[in-house]
């Protein structure tokens, strides 16, 4: 049994807390929102973000970051990507040298082009960061639906430790020593999922979705390999696996936001209606900056940026995507 702090009480942080408590660990969940913590203490269920998932007696809740961090063998950082740096910065002085921090959010910081493990290391250089990523909607994990995911770290023994802690008969964990590739796949698929949702919002069907998923993983792989990830990582659970689930499911906030954008709403209006952080919006510009850095062409991601930030209509973007010059599929 491990003492584990879960930093972030959104849907994913709550689902992870449920999973780890069922595995027999003692969990302390932190949120900066005091009303959220009081609701969790009183109801032992996140009525807003993960209704129907009962949280056991071995889970404590706190708005005191020190209480959630101190003397914990494992910390899980589960805040949305825009808040990763500020939250990690607030943990300075609360974590010991060599502290294992499991990063479960997905994104690329626009200004620095760091993945979230890089952001955490920038703020907490003494920490050991393990990336946990893959096709894993909180709504399904919280119901005990079979899920497979990957724990990644350059130090494979750290990844194996996280594998052991999270593994259960409904939650299968693989290991990888390519955490950077895993993170690129996890961040970039959110941008492709926006495109898939936009196509749905325009009323298009399965042919369009299949094309976007297939050409999307091609773009992710091209940029990911150029940036230093491994090809096989993008063909696995944290690449094509995560892309499929995010493009196809209504659990996906990126797809749902994309649908609204395809129907004519701005990304601000879409995020307001979804009522959750839409990670793909924050990763889209960073993806194009990375593409410029490594000299990679990303037609789908480029058109998503034009829709989000350039005032381009979704129909015009799709026309431009479809009418590009002829080429071989694999060139």
Residues 231-256, mean pLDDT to the nearest whole number: 95
Tell me the three-class secondary structure of the chain, residue by residue: CCEEEEECCCHHHHHHHHHHHHCCCEEEEECCCHHHHHHHHHHCCECCCECCCCCCCCEEEECCHHHHHCCCCEEEECCCHHHHHHHHHHCCCCCCCCCEEEECCCCECCCCCCEHHHHHHHHCCCCEEEEEECCCCHHHHCCCCCEEEEEECCCHHHHHHHHHHHCCCCEEEEEECCHHHHHHHHHHHHHHHHHHHHHHHCCCCHHHHHHHHHHHHHHHHHHHHHHCCCHHHHCCHHHHHHHHHHHHCCCCHHHHHHHHHHCCCCHHHHHHHHCCCCHHHHHHHHHHHHHHHHCCCCHHHHHHHHHHHCCCCHHHHHHHHHCCCCCCCCC
Judge whether 242 and 134 are in contact, CB under 8 Å: yes
**Cα–Cα distances in Å, from 105 out to 10, 139, 266?**
11, 15, 24
**Above 80 in pLDDT, residue 25?**
yes
Sheet harboring 147-152: ordered strands across?
59-62, 26-30, 3-7, 74-77, 100-103, 128-133, 147-152, 171-176
Residue 33: phi and psi, rounded to 5, are -95, 105
Which of the following is catalytic: 49, 72, 158, 189? Answer: 189
**Above 80 in pLDDT, residue 34?**
yes
Distance CA 68, CA 167 (A): 22
Judge whether 237 and 134 are in contact, CB under 8 Å: yes
Within its chain, how far is the Cα of 327 from the centroid? Answer: 32
pLDDT of residue 57: 93
pLDDT of residue 56: 92
**Above 90 in pLDDT, residue 301?**
yes
Judge whether 220 and 187 are in contact, CB under 8 Å: no
- Let me know if 143 is a catalytic residue: no
**Cα–Cα distances in Å, from 83 out to 87, 206, 279?**
6, 35, 11
Domain 3-177 identical in fold to domain 180-322: no
Please determine, looking at this structure, whether the domain spanning 3-177 carries the CATH number 2.40.50.140.
Answer: no
Q: How confident is the model at residue 151 (pLDDT cuts 50, 70, 90)?
A: very high
CA dihedral 95, 101, 107, 108 (to 10 degrees): 60
Chain segment 193-233, per-residue pLDDT in tens: 999 999 999 999 999 999 999 999 999 999 999 999 999 99
Q: What is the mean pLDDT of the chain?
A: 96
pLDDT of residue 250: 87
pLDDT of residue 138: 95
Angle among Cα 101, 107, 112 to the nearest 5 degrees reads 90
**Above 80 in pLDDT, residue 316?**
yes
pLDDT of residue 165: 98
Share of the chain above pLDDT 70, in %: 100
**Above 80 in pLDDT, residue 331?**
no
Give me the residue spans of the domains in the chain: 3-177, 180-322
Considering the segment(s) 180-322 as one domain, its CATH architecture is Orthogonal Bundle (1.10)
């Amino acid at each position: 049994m491990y003492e584990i702090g879960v930093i972030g009480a959104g849907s994913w942080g709550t689902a992870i807390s449920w999973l780890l408590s069922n595995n027999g660990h003692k969990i302390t969940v932190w949120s900066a929102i005091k009303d959220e913590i009081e609701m969790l203490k009183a109801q032992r269920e996140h009525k807003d973000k993960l209704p129907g998932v009962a949280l056991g007696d071995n889970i404590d809740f706190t708005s005191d970051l020190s209480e959630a961090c101190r003397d914990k063998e494992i910390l899980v950082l589960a805040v949305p990507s825009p808040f990763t740096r500020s939250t990690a910065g607030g943990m300075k002085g609360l974590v010991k040298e060599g502290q294992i921090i499991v990063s479960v959010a997905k994104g690329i910081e626009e200004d620095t082009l760091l993945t979230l493990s890089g952001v955490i290391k920038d703020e907490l250089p003494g920490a050991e960061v393990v990336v946990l990523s893959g096709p894993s909607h909180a709504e399904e994990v919280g119901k005990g639906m079979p899920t497979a995911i990957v724990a990644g770290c350059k130090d494979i023994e750290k990844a194996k430790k996280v594998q052991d802690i999270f593994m259960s008969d409904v939650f299968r964990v693989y290991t990888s020593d390519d955490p950077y590739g895993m993170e690129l796949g996890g961040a970039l698929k959110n941008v492709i999922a926006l495109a898939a949702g936009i196509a749905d919002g325009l009323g298009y069907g399965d042919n369009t979705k299949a094309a976007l998923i297939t050409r999307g993983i091609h773009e992710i792989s091209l940029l990911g390999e150029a940036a230093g990830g491994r090809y096989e990582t993008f063909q696995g659970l944290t690449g094509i696996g995560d892309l499929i689930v995010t493009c196809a499911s209504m659990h996906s906030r990126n797809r749902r936001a994309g649908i609204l954008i395809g129907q004519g709403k701005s990304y601000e209006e879409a995020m307001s209606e979804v009522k959750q952080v839409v990670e793909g919006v924050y990763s889209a510009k960073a993806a194009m900056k990375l593409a410029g850095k490594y000299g990679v062409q990303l037609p789908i991601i480029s058109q998503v940026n034009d829709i989000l930030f350039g005032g381009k209509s979704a129909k015009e973007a799709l026309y431009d995507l479809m009418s590009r010059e002829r080429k071989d599929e694999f060139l």
